[in-house]
């Protein structure tokens, strides 16, 4: 457990000093919103609320891919992957530390993205902000779990920038579908429906446990 907390603190402190991942994700999210703004046809407010969750979650997922691609970049650049593998204790705690730091960074970027999205598209997100945060937090568990595992698998590949999204996005399709369904309700000021929260909880739990157990073998490779 101490290894997980140490890695989480190390990643957050390093990111605070460099802000490489954070700036890249924020800038990409803003650019996607601007592109959608110019490509968006004129719509009534009711129609806008209906399509907004899908647009926002597409932005979230692609911004997360950028952040996940840099999860093990520092260890690779400093040739510290071997040292990481030699850390005492179960290697699954390394996974938890990395995934936890990524979860916090992605959640921060999503909060900023939602604020800018609401300004550009004139969508009221304040009424369902608690439900939207719950949906995003649960979905991020799956995104960060699978993303951290696949990032460790692809970090040594020459094609890691292409390999990660190709492997990651298909695994997130059920998560994305449930997140969009839940966000559609919260954007309308309603409570997040259980039929959207249940798959997020179940899939997030399954992905987290599997990635925790499989990370030992991935780090060996």
* Contact status, residue 24 vs residue 17, Cβ threshold 8 Å: no
* Contact status, residue 134 vs residue 196, Cβ threshold 8 Å: no
- Whole-model pTM: value is 0.87
Nearest to 76 by CA among 163, 155, 157, 162: 155
Residues in the chain: 221
Report whether pLDDT(39) > 90.
Answer: no
pLDDT per position as a tens digit, 79-126:
666 666 666 666 777 888 888 889 999 999 999 999 988 888 777 777
Report whether pLDDT(221) > 80.
Answer: no
CA–CA separation, 50 and 142 (whole Å): 24
Distance of CA 156 to the CA centre of its chain: 21
How much of the chain exceeds pLDDT 90, in percent?
32
Report whether pLDDT(35) > 90.
Answer: no
* 37 phi, psi to nearest 5 deg: -65, -40
Nearest to 13 by CA among 80, 74, 55: 74
Work out the average pLDDT over 174-201. 90
Could you say which DSSP state residue 192 is in?
P
């Amino acid at each position: 457990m101490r290894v997980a907390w140490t890695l989480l603190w190390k990643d957050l402190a390093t990111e605070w000093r460099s802000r490489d991942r954070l700036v890249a994700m924020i800038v990409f999210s803003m650019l996607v919103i601007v592109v959608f703004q110019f490509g968006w046809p004129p719509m009534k407010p009711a129609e806008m609320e209906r399509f907004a969750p899908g647009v926002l979650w597409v932005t979230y997922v692609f911004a997360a891919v950028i952040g996940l691609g840099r999860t093990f970049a520092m260890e690779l650049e400093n040739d510290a992957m071997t040292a990481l593998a030699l850390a005492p204790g179960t290697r699954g705690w390394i996974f938890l530390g990395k995934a936890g730091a990524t979860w916090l960074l992605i959640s921060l970027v999503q909060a900023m993205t939602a604020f800018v999205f609401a300004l550009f598209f004139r969508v009221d997100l304040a009424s369902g902000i608690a439900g939207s945060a719950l949906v995003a937090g649960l979905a991020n568990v799956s995104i960060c779990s699978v993303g951290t595992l696949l990032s460790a698998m692809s970090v040594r590949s020459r094609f890691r920038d292409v390999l990660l999204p190709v492997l990651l996005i298909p695994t997130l399709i059920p998560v994305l579908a449930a997140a969009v369904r839940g966000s559609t309700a919260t954007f309308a000021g309603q409570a997040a429906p259980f039929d959207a929260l249940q798959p997020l909880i179940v899939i997030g739990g399954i992905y987290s446990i599997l990635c925790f157990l499989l990370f030992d073998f991935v780090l060996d490779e």
